[in-house]
Amino acid sequence: MSNDPRDICPRPELPHAHHGEPLVPPLELSAVYRMRDPDEADVVLSGAEPGYVYARDGHPNAEALAEKCRLLHSAERGAVCASGMGALAAAVLALAKSGDEVVLSDQLYGKSVQLLKSELARLGISAKLVDTSQLSDVAHALQSQPRLLVIETISNPMLRVAEIPELATLAHAQGTKLLVDNTFASPVLCQPLKWGADLVLESLTKMMNGHSDVILGFLGGRVELWDRIPGVISTWGLAASPFDCWLALRGLGTLAVRMERAASNAQSVAVHLSLHPDVVEVHYPGLNAHPDHAIACRLLKGGFGAMVTFQLRGGRPAATQFIRAVADSIPFAPSLGDLSTTLSHPESTSHRGLSPEERSHLGITGGTIRLSVGIESAEGIIAALNAGLRAIAG
């Protein structure tokens, strides 16, 4: 080693720790890994032995996070991507090609519809939307033997719960693979692969990381569908960064307790709201009145999730008043799965791209508010909601 400050290379050897391993996985930011010689490059790049070469193809923090998520879903294979959308793109780019068709639930996340309908159309992959709560409509749509059926465990914002086992059976009868976006449920509530799905997707951005400080996605699935997925993630540039993976792995440590608490709070909030005169309707799978309550009891474990949607009697003006009145305790932030309670207004955010007719078909009005219930005390959340409801009445 020279002591000339301009000599950056070779870097100093790090002192080797003979005793004591870090309890917390280290954050390894290196974009590239050094090789001893061409023989080592051969061994790693041929896949004969595990190892890292270039972080777009894999790095320790992504591997640790993917492994944790894979286990949570009992998936044979798993990979993380730079976002939930990246994970969805990886799945379709790996499994579908020009001339293929995909069928999607008409209640899918807006950006997912945009990707699967508009973007894929440019690549010669066509998409058909279907109301997946109507199994006969789904059976009809699958007659054309599409590559993929894409659904969500719990939909946004009406929180419809998908009949995953039935949909898997219908799909498999036509040789179609079932991809389930499980973001609103998380593996704590539901593990779609156990109910017959072929692929599962999580936006780790939401409940899984749980702290609103990371954008990341996970794709898990069966080994026979996995051939092309790692290559697609690398070549299309969908890989995740080490720091994001490190944060999300930390977030996952508390996933189960967060989900349990948020779901219990959400149940109390849903019951409370359903008794209020200024609330026309409450959508929560844990309520008897929810159209999918029976399915939810069967498929969801440990609660019915953190999301509660409700309609204010006074429409858009009431929603605006309510949102302004609760802003200090419940921020209007169009995402979900944070530690604290947030709310969204689908008409002006997630569903603004739809026509008024399409929105009303889904049941979304100007008075629709979607809550992402956090892990505060249930009493505190209910007090904040009551203050908002008083502001409308007054």
Ligand X SMILES: *Cc1c(COP(=O)(O)O)cnc(C)c1O
Q: Are 87 and 206 in contact (CB under 8 A)?
A: no
Q: Is the CB of 96 or the CB of 248 nearer to ligand X? A: 248
By CB under 6 A, residue 370 contacts ligand X: no
Rounded-to-integer distance, Cα 204 and Cα 226, Å: 20
Residues in binding contact with ligand X, number by CB under 6 A: 16
Q: Which amino acid is at 190?
A: C
State which residue, 151 or 170, has the beta carbon closest to ligand X. 151
Q: Does 206 bind ligand X (CB under 6 A)?
A: yes
Q: Segment contacting ligand X (CB under 6 A): 80-88, 230-238, 248-256, 292-300?
A: 80-88
Tokens of 227: 């051939």
CB of 247 to ligand X, least distance (A): 13
Stretch that binds ligand X, among 82-90, 122-130, 219-227, 252-260 (CB under 6 A): 82-90
Please count the other Cβ atoms lying within 10 Å of the Cβ belonging to residue 379: 10
**Other CB atoms within 10 Å distance of the CB of residue 332:** 17
> Residue 181 CB, nearest distance to ligand X (Å)?
5
Shortest Cβ 37–ligand X spacing (Å): 40
| Per CB under 6 A, 252 contacts ligand X | no
Return the residue of 181, 198, 338, 347 that touches ligand X, per CB under 6 A: 181
Q: Which residues contact 30 (CB under 8 A, 6 or more apart)?
A: 55, 59
Contact 351, 366 (CB under 8 A): no
Based on the shown chain and the rule CB under 6 A, indicate whether residue 78 belongs to the binding site for ligand X. no
One residue of 217, 286, 303, 346 binding ligand X per CB under 6 A: 217
- Quote the radius of gyration of the chain (alpha carbons, Å): 23
- CA dist., res. 226 & res. 51, Å (int): 19
Question: Minimum CB separation from ligand X for residue 311, in Å?
Answer: 21
DSSP 276: -
- Options 129-137, 201-209, 220-228, 313-321: segment touching ligand X (CB under 6 A): 201-209
**Gap between the Cα atoms of 143 and 174, Å rounded:** 7
Which residues, in sequence order, are bridge partners of residue 128?
A: 103
- Identified binder of ligand X from the candidate list 61, 105, 107, 112, rule CB under 6 A: 112
Say whether residue 73 binds ligand X (CB under 6 A): no
We find the least distance from the C-beta atom of residue 362 to ligand X, in angstroms, to be: 14
* Helix (H) or strand (E) segment spanning residue 91: helix 84-95
Contact mark string toward ligand X, 266..305, x via CB under 6 A: ----------------------------------------
Looking at 55, 64, 65, 85, which residue binds ligand X (CB under 6 A)?
85
Q: Which of 384, 382, 309, 381 is nearest to 347 (CA)?
A: 309
| CA terminus-to-terminus distance, the chain | 75
Task: Work out which of 61, 83, 132, 212 binds ligand X, going by CB under 6 A.
Answer: 83
Query: By CB under 6 A, what part of segment 309-328 binds ligand X?
Result: none
Closest of 174, 170, 154 to residue 162, by C-alpha = 154
100 touching ligand X, by CB under 6 A: no
State which of residues 203, 264, 267, 311 lies at the interface with ligand X (CB under 6 A): 203
What is the smallest separation between the CB atom of 167 and ligand X, expressed in angstroms? 16
- Measured at the alpha carbon of residue 359, what is the angle toward residues 358 and 364, in degrees to the nearest 5? 155
Q: Which of 60, 109, 221, 374 binds ligand X (CB under 6 A)?
A: 109
Is residue 215 within the footprint of ligand X (CB under 6 A)? yes
Which residue shows structure tokens 């956090």?
Answer: 374
User: Which residue bears the tokens 């749980």?
Assistant: 210
Here the tokens at position 277 are 């005169």
Residue at token pair 């930390």: 250
Q: Which residues bind ligand X (CB under 6 A)?
A: 83-85, 109, 111-112, 152, 156, 181, 183-184, 203, 205-206, 215, 217
